[in-house]
Amino acid sequence: MFISSQNSEPSFKGFTLVMPAVAVGNVGQLAVDLIVSTLNMSRVGHIHTDCLIPMAGNNPYATCKEDAEELHTPAEVYTAAELKLAVLQIRAPIVQTKSKKFRQLLLSWIKASGFSRTVVLSSSHAYQRDDQQLQGTPLRYLVTPSLLKVSAHALKELGWREMERVSAFPGLTDANTEPRLYIPGGGITKGLYTDSCTEDLPLAVLLLFCSEGDNIPDAFTLVNHLNDWLQLLDNHSPEPNKWKIPPSWNLLFGSGIPPALF
């Protein structure tokens, strides 16, 4: 259930929604962090659900001491109205037995909100790639039929590779077995995509093959690919690194404890 933090319900009609899947390396969440921080997006509400492990913490995008003491929750919604962009940041793992319920909740909210399209940022285990998936860059995409109708030309211009379907039994070819969509380490990515196809929702998945570790470079790679498509930033900027790193990234590897916690 979406709960607004404003006096009136925000309108998302015609907005693009960007959200991460909780997946290997947390690449999607890190990429979303860069978007929220760089665009200085406004928090407009949160999603209240028992499907996520409950947690709370300080403001990950704090710019001053007063901001740092704001309380933040596991699933929050941010907007940049001038770009018609909304972001759902998910900061906690999904309760294992409630994965399907969480997907249904998300899709119900997406439909009710009137988003024009949804982009899911995700990742998958690099070591489980099929031979054909070793070719080209580590970026792959998926798009539902309803979004393909309006975005086919743009995706073709970008030259991205669609996520390959793989054999159900690697190394064996069986004429009776259809290749399947397999996203190991991708969390709810596959379920969200297949549900959106069934419900005729305009949704795309951008995912990166990666390994667990320092996934900051992967986040920059993913968000740059997203920017090539959505044009969130000026691509002609003279600055080599146009993305603003949020202060919470100082704590990614456990370096220090924020005083505001106490």
Tokens of 126: 């690099």
User: Which residue, among 223, 210, 212, has the nearest Cα to 253 in the 3D structure?
Assistant: 212
Question: Is a pLDDT exceeding 80 seen at residue 101?
Answer: yes
Question: Is a pLDDT exceeding 90 seen at residue 79?
Answer: yes
Is domain 12-247 classified as CATH 3.40.50.10900?
yes
What residues contact residue 224 under an 8 Å CB cut-off, 6+ apart? none
Query: Range with the lowest mean pLDDT among 8-17, 20-29, 35-44, 225-234?
Result: 8-17
Q: What is the pLDDT of residue 68?
A: 76
d(CA 120, CA 70) in angstroms, rounded, equals: 27
Counting residues of the chain whose pLDDT is more than 90, the rounded percentage is 64
Domains of the chain by residue range: 12-247
Residue 34: helix, strand or coil by DSSP? Answer: helix
Beta partners for residue 117, in sequence order:
16
Tokens of 141: 């995409």
User: Which residue, among 231, 233, 232, 188, has the nearest Cα to 207 in the 3D structure?
Assistant: 188
User: Which residue, among 77, 16, 15, has the nearest Cα to 46 in the 3D structure?
Assistant: 77
